[in-house]
Structure 1
């Protein structure tokens, strides 16, 4: 597989993740750990079936425990934080903060031994965090304290996924089929936490179940397999840069679906975060 093809395959994940916020909102009132359990059980099961069909199952025995722990914590941590953030704060605003990860991937990848951190990366980071600050401050209207926990979780979410994606390059020999084990282990880890800390609440309408199935098949299923191919075999800086489309696409989907109301604060925040990624992208190209 060529590097360009792997990068293109990885970008499919970005398109799927544009639906993540919409499906998460649609899955309410299902609590975060239960949602983790259901979605990752589906994604992991489909991944094992795919591995069996392609003959990749024997390779899973060769993967070290360290890799399985790393992948499980990355998937579990990101989605537990993301689902919780969108339950505690307005989805469009929390989603934009969470989507600082494309910018952070470009910045963090500049710290890898074979890469360089340039001035454009720093400028891009400042712009991106300015967009996040605009959201948190309410565009100068003052802090909305009730949403701060959700915004904080969204920021941790961005740090978790960008760190996971960049560090995946350091364990690039693990087969993509191992993502199926990550998913199933994430579901297994989420279930006892749900039973200990959450009330079991199921969707009350068919659309709620459709949203959960959509999550399990796409943003929390296929997306991880194509993303794994992209970050391990493709151009990680170009992939992280092209992911600048994620915050705009996700916000646009929420607005079109009527989940979020369009506003100038939302627009400027999206432009700052996206512009920051583009500034970092230009530095990477140079």
Structure 2
């Protein structure tokens, strides 16, 4: 596969992730860990079927570090993200979650030895200002459950940023192994669900949302992103990632899950603008 086609694969992942928040909201009132388990089971099952069909099942045999990295990143991020959408106003929680592209830039300095510089620091400041505007001025901030939800959203951003930055050291792990990571994440989520939550039987609309989640944002997107980051142009993908919170927020608003008030609009500009500043600074690490 050429570098251009690999980059297009990464773009496909970004498009799918724009639908993650609105699809997860459509699974309500299913509890977050149950959604995580079912979504990963569907995505991992579909991925495993393709891997076996292609005769690449041996790619699932990876060292413990690769499994810890893959499962920890996928399971940790989505469990926190789905919890954030369940416990806090979805538009605000979604924006806080999409601090992850900006945090990738921040973590690249200590983890990859790449300097921040003035432009990147300005971008970090803009993103932080957007975070404060959402959390401090959002209408749902003082409501019951909002604080844990906002904390989960920020935690999700931290986990995904760390997972993305450290994935640069996992280039030898084949893309097919992602199927195994998804299935292991489904198992962990199922165990946690049985311990901490009460099972809710999905209705037809919830099953449809779960199938779309597993086929797209919690399935195919991981394989496409892995291809794009390892064999495409990570610099271009890093810049384009800042369009995801725009599309994701607008889809939530169109679905009636929130309103695009002036605070949300201003925070959106700050988070996306700060990320763009950081991503387009010379020498920035992406991925």
- Aligning the two structures, in what range does the TM-score lie when normalised by the shorter sequence? over 0.9
The residue that corresponds to 1:235 in the other structure is 233
How many pairs are equivalent? 283
Aligned residues: CA RMSD: 1.9
Displacement of 1:142 in angstroms is 9.7
How many Å apart are 1:195 and its aligned residue? 0.9
Partner of 1:121: 120
Q: How does 1:16-31 map to 2 (within 5 A)?
A: 16-31=16-31
1:244 match: secondary structure: helix
For residue 13 of structure 2, what is the aligned residue in structure 1?
13
CA distance in 2, matches of 1:257, 1:7: 30
Separation of aligned partners in 2, 1:37 and 1:282: 36
Mapped to 1, the partners of 2:120 and 2:5 lie a distance apart of 25
Distance 1:59 1:192 in 2: 26
Within 2, Cα distance between the matches of 1:284 and 1:156?
A: 28
SS in 2 for 1:258: coil
**Contact (CA 8 Å) 2:89, 2:140: kept in 1 or not?**
no
| Greater CA drift, 15-24 or 257-266 | 257-266
How many angstroms does 1:202 deviate by? 2.3
Alignment check: 8 A CA contact 2:40 2:185 kept: yes
Q: For 2:155 and 2:111, how far apart are their aligned partners in 1?
A: 21
Cα drift, residue 125 of structure 1:
1.0
Aligned pairs (5 A) from 1:80-159 = 80-111=79-110, 113=112, 115-138=114-137, 143-144=141-142, 146=144, 147-159=146-158
| Whole-Å separation in 1 of the counterparts to 2:259 and 2:250 | 10
Residue 4 of structure 1 deviates from its aligned partner by 3.8
Identify the residue that residue 226 of structure 1 maps to in structure 2.
Answer: 224
Counterpart contact for 1:109–1:237, Cα < 8 Å: no
Contact in 2 for aligned 1:29/1:202 (Cα 8 Å): no
Within 5 Å, which residues of 2 pair with 1:165-204?
A: 165-204=164-203
Distance 2:74 2:112 in 1: 25
Shift of 1:99: 0.6
Query: Matched residues in 2 for 1:191 and 1:79: separation?
Result: 13
Q: Where in structure 1 are there 5+ consecutive unaligned residues?
A: none
Alignment partners' CA distance in 2, 1:156 and 1:273: 16
Aligned to 2:258: 260
The TM-score normalised by the length of structure 2 is: 0.93
